[in-house]
Structure 1
Amino acid sequence: MDVVTLEPRLHMLAFPVGHAYLWVGEDGLTLIDTGEVGKAPAVADAIAGLGFRTGDVRRVLLTHFHDDHVGSAAAIAGWGDVLVYAHSTETPIIRGLEPGPPPVLRDWERPLFEQLPPRVLPGPVRVDRELTDGDTIDLGGVDAVAVHVPGHTPGSVAYYLPEPRVLFTGDTVARLPDGTVILGVFNVDHDRAVDSLRRQAALDVGIACFGHGAPLTGDASAQLRRTAATAHL
């Protein structure tokens, strides 16, 4: 796993499958997503490498229920006084009370989906705060706004930090190796996913952090708007 500093308070933890992000606040650390099952030791190493302790983690913000995002959340939630946040639509899934819906694949997505490696399903994760659209979370001197962005999953949530102009999209938006920004794939509802992309493109964003693909830095809004303009229902 590589650790990439995007700005002094923001670090990307780049896993082979999916990314997590670490925000450094005045009161400690916030993780946005946690990687697959078994990645907690790698997250702990990254935190130590940045000069912090696992006990400095105050919050885990989950973007959606997929295993490459919540896989290590239960382990990290046990590090100390950690609050876990997720959208209310998906808390029953994340808590292990009901299954999550599968994607509705487009024809061109099927070969890609069939090539995915087998996944290790996460166990139940404690959720301390159930979010709804517009809820505000204090990250230690900086507010994050929960933006409900359904489509990839029913309760996908992006986290928008207006003051530093940072957006965490989860898997609702992605970036290819060649740098192209695209609508996220493997969605449960394509039309809602397009609407959610357009909603995020309307925000004032300097840095856009994706669950898959390298972040956009600088004027991320311009690229998000271009992608939204070419997305079709």
Structure 2
Amino acid sequence: MELIQITPAVWQLPFPVGHAHIVRLPDGYALIDTGVPGSAPAILEALDQLGGRPQDVRQIVLTHFHGDHMGSAADLVAATGARVLAGALDTPFIRGTAPEPEPVFTAPERALYEQIMAGFADAGAPPAKHVPVDIELHDGDTLDGWAEPVRVLHVPGHTPGSIALYLPSSGVLFPGDNVATAEGRAILGPFNVDREEAIASFRRLAALEVEIVCVPHGEPLMEDAGAVLRAAAPEGDWV
């Protein structure tokens, strides 16, 4: 996979399902989400392209527990020794101490989900490994060790403990799966445990002053992303 530079300190590593992001810190790197199981070698190779070593990874931030986001976290922790950070309400599912809640599908979502799952089965994809969470994140928390302030936003709906990361100084937003893109538009991410809550979280993110949105699914919004979010109509997506 070819790295896409989004800002001087942020890169997207695109995967067929569930992009990962690499962020340069003053003393190393952070990873935001980790792709499906088996993605660790590609992420470490991308890190090497940037001049980083596995031991330079300080943090692995998981926006939520789904397998295309936490899928390679355990392998990356083993390779890097990094700390894992995740939303407090999703940590039982990431750790494997509680059963994962199921999405409530609309008809179009169910068809897409079955297609994705069939692709994973055909590829022989392994199941995601559970991983310890070192730091449980809550709404309003900030992250240590970054080059600029980072606000943690609790944005439930996609999962109970979904989080977004907002960098107000540079106007960069990592929305997790609350926001996806398609054909230059921002859309509601599918497969939500609570659709109405997810729409409310989308609207909260759309109210922020942002220039760039680093989505896990679709193309990043690289210019005037706030206007794109405000123009979206998440209530009409996936129905």
Q: CA deviation at 1:38?
A: 1.0
In the TM superposition, what are the counterparts of 1:60-139 in structure 2 within 5 Å?
Answer: 60-116=60-116, 117=119, 118=121, 120-139=126-145
2:22–2:31: 8 Å Cα contact kept in structure 1?
A: yes
SS of equivalent residue, structure 1 residue 232: helix
CA contact (8 A) 1:18 1:35 kept: yes
Whether 1:163 aligns to 2:169 is yes
- Partner residue of 2:196 out of 176, 184, 191: 191
Aligned equivalents of 2:65, 2:115: Cα separation in 1: 21
Query: Residue type of the partner of 1:38?
Result: G
Partner amino acid for 1:126?
Answer: P
Establish whether residue 217 from structure 1 lines up as the match of residue 219 from structure 2.
no
Aligned partners of 1:174, 1:98: CA distance in 2, in Å?
A: 27
SS at match of 2:175: strand
Secondary structure of the residue aligned to 2:143 is strand
Percent of residue pairs bearing the same amino acid type: 48
For the pair 1:151 / 2:157, whether they are aligned, the reply is yes
Structure in which a larger fraction of residues adopt helix = 2
After superposition, the C-alpha distances for 1:29-80 in whole angstroms (9 at most, x for unaligned) are: 0100011111111111001111111111000110000001001111111234
5+ long unaligned stretches in structure 2:
none
TM-score calculated relative to the size of structure 1: 0.95
Counterpart residue type for residue 27 of structure 1: D
The Cα shift of 1:84 comes to 0.6
Separation in 2, partners of 1:29, 1:47? 9
What are the equivalent positions in structure 2 for 1:196-207 lying under 5 Å apart?
Answer: 196-207=201-212
Distance 2:145 2:224 in 1: 23
Residue in structure 2 matched with residue 44 of structure 1 by the alignment: 44
2:230 alignment partner, SS class: helix
On the 8 A contact 2:72/2:129 being kept in 1, the answer is no
CA–CA separation in structure 2 for the residues paired with 1:113 and 1:52: 35
Q: Kindly report structure 1 stretches of 4+ aligned residues shifted beyond 3 Å.
A: none
Displacement of 1:180 in angstroms is 2.2
Q: TM-score, normalised by structure 2?
A: 0.92
Aligned pairs for 1:16-31 within 5 A? 16-31=16-31
> How far apart are 1:163 and its partner, in Å?
1.3
Separation (CA, whole Å) in 2 of partners of 1:115 and 1:200 = 29
**d(CA) in 2 for partners of 1:85 and 1:167?**
17
Whichever residue aligns with residue 184 of structure 2, its letter is G
SS of the equivalent of 1:158 reads strand
Distance 1:56 1:173 in 2: 29
CA distance in 2, matches of 1:33, 1:190: 22
Q: 2-side partners of 1:80 and 1:36: how far apart? A: 18
* Structure 1 residue 179, shift from structure 2 partner: 2.0
Residue type of the partner of 1:98? A
Larger mean Cα displacement after TM superposition, 105-114 or 117-126: 117-126
Alpha-carbon RMSD:
1.3
Contact 2:88 2:138 in 1 (8 A): yes
3-state SS, counterpart of residue 63 of structure 2: coil
Note closer, same or farther for the CA distance 1:219–1:139 as it changes in structure 2 (3 Å cut): farther
Unaligned runs of 5+ in 1: none
**1:81 Cα shift?**
4.1
